[in-house]
DNA sequence: TTAAAAAACTAATGCAAGTAGTTTCACGGC
DNA sequence: GCCGTGAAACTACTTGCATTAGTTTTTTAA
């Protein structure tokens, strides 16, 4: 029982299977044995493609992040007004998380890898998506980093609480979200 | 080798050990075997006090939440101005998370248990801590739920990103945080 | 054509969660 | 003071995951 005839699995296949698995069954379901079963191979064979369980999680998280950034890039294409761009970004993140709860939970759980080769590109792309409209809105350079952190925090916290079903009171989440991003954006533009 | 002489462990002891463990080694370290080792007993004996691993995590999370709420209650004691109360609450949450990163990560990871007997009291206490100053600030009743969600989201997102070391650029986090909560509070008070 | 690398496998170890059944101690009723 | 019941510990065991070592087969490149 050695290598099988025909095309064999790639690391891409493995990450793809992991993405699907996490999408369907949540971040807790991610594991070497589980992904191997999904691919129809034995667990040890997966180590031909990933170094370890944690590394599989990191790779899957990076892939998910790229999916998110691509989605956001599409979302703001064609939006001209900088403020509308910011709102569009926030809403697009929330929509993506609704459609990919497990993946976002995974991204939140995996420790960032500052030295990882895949880290730079998508991180920078995400940053730029927010930086451009902030600049156009006249936010001074030395406050843009703080502004991005504020916006990211607000959206991140909201979508996490929302998908963890921590908003138990009967009130429309849409309204809460619009109120939040409107408050933050207004506050950032007229900062004192 | 049956029961040992002298006083035996209680569920409180177990939760206490779990709290200490998570504080020192993070939420990932929490498990039946690990807590049992910490207490000097064999893993199966722990099931005399908790029903399962997940239930241990839930109990620990509830205990952590109570610690947080108690800390916040102390923090706002003696603060009169409602706006200052809100700011104090936000800063106290952040300070607590800095001192208890693992516990906060655990709370974020454990699914909420709407029917759990321990759930109501602390949830309500936390809610009330925010509700009172919002009322005093003149936020209309039908917007208070949204306002609380917005504030919680902002603080939650910020502290999670911060303790996950996702703020990689060299800029003072204190400034970012103050900017965020100021923007949100201002936005909530002058909501349109 | 052939040697090396890649990709699968089997076998086995170690550890965590959980179950079943056993032993020993503490405590309340007599 | 004695005794029975239940609580709290134990041992032994099963199952499942992560991981390592070593083997076989196929692909690929020299």
pLDDT at A118: 81
Dist CA A54 CA A106 (whole Å): 11
> By the 8 A CB rule, do B157 and A156 touch?
yes
In a domain, A134, yes or no: yes
Comparing A6 with B39, which gets the higher pLDDT? B39
**Predicted confidence band at B51 (pLDDT cuts at 50, 70, 90)?**
very high
Question: Is the predicted pLDDT of residue B192 greater than 60, yes or no?
Answer: no
Dist CA A43 CA A103 (whole Å): 22
B67 closest CA partner among B29, B38, B96: B96
In a domain, B7, yes or no: no
pLDDT at A192: 58
Dist CA A158 CA A152 (whole Å): 10
CA A102 to the chain's CA centroid:
10
pLDDT digits (tens, 9 = 90+) for A3-34: 888 889 999 999 999 999 999 999 999 999 99
Q: Do B187 and A182 touch (CB under 8 A)?
A: yes
Between the CA of A35 and the C1' of D28, what is the distance in angstroms? Answer: 28
In a domain, B124, yes or no: yes
pLDDT at B7: 83
Place of tokens 């031909």: A48
Q: Do A176 and B146 touch (CB under 8 A)?
A: yes
In a domain, A144, yes or no: yes
Between the CA of A14 and the C1' of C10, what is the distance in angstroms? Answer: 22
B6: left (phi over 0), alpha (psi -120 to 50) or beta: left
> By the 8 A CB rule, do A130 and A149 touch?
no
Domain of B181, CATH number, reads: 1.10.357.10
Give φ, ψ of B30 to 5 degrees. Answer: -70, 125
Question: Looking at the 3D structure of chain A, how many domains does it have?
Answer: 1
How far is the alpha carbon of A127 from chain B, nearest alpha carbon, in Å? 11
- By Cβ distance, the residue of A123, A154, A175 closest to B153 is A154
Six token digits for residue A54: 């944690």
What is A116-177 written as a DSSP string? -TTHHHHHHHHHHHHHHHHHHTT--HHHHHHHHHHHHHHHHHHHHHHHTT---SSS-HHHHH
Mutation for testing the B interface, residue in A90, A150, A186 having most B CBs under 10 Å: A150
- By Cβ distance, the residue of A152, A156, A176 closest to B149 is A176
Between the CA of A179 and the C1' of C29, what is the distance in angstroms? Answer: 65
Q: Do A143 and B179 touch (CB under 8 A)?
A: yes
With a CB cutoff of 8 Å and minimum separation 6, the contacts of B139 are B147, B188, B189, B191
A173 closest CA partner among A72, A85, A98, A88: A98
- Which nucleotides in chain D lie less than 7 Å from some protein C-beta? 6-12, 16-27
How far is the alpha carbon of A98 from chain B, nearest alpha carbon, in Å? 16
In a domain, B16, yes or no: no
Percent of chain B with pLDDT over 70: 99
In a domain, A147, yes or no: yes
ipTM of the complex in this document: 0.93
Question: Is the predicted pLDDT of residue A47 greater than 60, yes or no?
Answer: yes
pLDDT digits (tens, 9 = 90+) for A114-170: 888 888 889 999 999 999 999 999 999 999 999 999 999 999 999 999 999 999 899
Give φ, ψ of A54 to 5 degrees. Answer: -55, -40
In a domain, A92, yes or no: yes
Average pLDDT score over residue span B155-179: 95
pLDDT digits (tens, 9 = 90+) for B18-35: 999 999 999 999 999 999
> By the 8 A CB rule, do B151 and A187 touch?
no
Six token digits for residue B55: 């239930």
For residue B65, the chain A residues in CB contact (below 8 A) are none
Closest Cα in chain A to B149: A176
In a domain, A65, yes or no: yes
**In angstroms, how far apart are the furthest CA atoms of chain B?**
70
Q: Rounded to 5 degrees, what angle do the CA atoms B20, B23, B25 make?
A: 100
Between the CA of A111 and the C1' of C13, what is the distance in angstroms? Answer: 29
Average pLDDT score over residue span B131-154: 96
pLDDT at B12: 97
Question: Is the predicted pLDDT of residue B15 greater than 60, yes or no?
Answer: yes
Six token digits for residue A132: 């451009």
B33: left (phi over 0), alpha (psi -120 to 50) or beta: alpha
Mutation for testing the B interface, residue in A168, A187, A191 having most B CBs under 10 Å: A187
With a CB cutoff of 8 Å and minimum separation 6, the contacts of A65 are A107, A122, A126
Percent of chain A with pLDDT over 70: 99
Q: Rounded to 5 degrees, what angle do the CA atoms B33, B34, B35 make?
A: 95
Question: Is the predicted pLDDT of residue B143 greater than 60, yes or no?
Answer: yes
The residue range of the domain holding B180 is 57-189
pLDDT at B121: 87
> By the 8 A CB rule, do B157 and A153 touch?
yes
Q: How many CB atoms lie within 10 A of CB A131?
A: 17
**How much is the CA Rg of chain A, to the nearest whole Å?**
19
């Amino acid at each position: 029982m050695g290598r099988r005839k025909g095309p064999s699995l790639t690391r891409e296949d493995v990450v793809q299977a992991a993405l699907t698995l996490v999408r369907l069954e949540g971040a807790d379901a991610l594991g070497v044995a589980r992904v191997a079963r999904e691919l129809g191979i034995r667990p040890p064979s997966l180590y031909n493609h990933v170094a370890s369980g944690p590394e599989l999680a990191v790779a899957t998280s990076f892939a998910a992040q790229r999916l998110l950034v691509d989605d956001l890039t599409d979302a703001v294409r064609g939006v001209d007004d900088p403020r509308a761009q910011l709102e569009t970004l926030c809403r697009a993140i929330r929509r993506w998380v609704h459609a990919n709860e497990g993946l976002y939970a995974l991204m939140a759980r995996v420790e960032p890898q500052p030295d990882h080769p895949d880290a730079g590109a998508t991180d920078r792309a995400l940053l730029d998506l927010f930086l451009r409209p902030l600049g156009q809105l006249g936010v001074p350079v030395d406050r843009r980093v703080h502004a991005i952190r504020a916006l990211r925090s607000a959206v991140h916290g909201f979508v996490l609480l929302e998908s963890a079903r921590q908003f138990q009171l009967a009130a429309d989440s849409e309204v809460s979200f619009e109120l939040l991003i409107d408050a933050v954006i207004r506050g950032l533009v007229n900062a004192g």
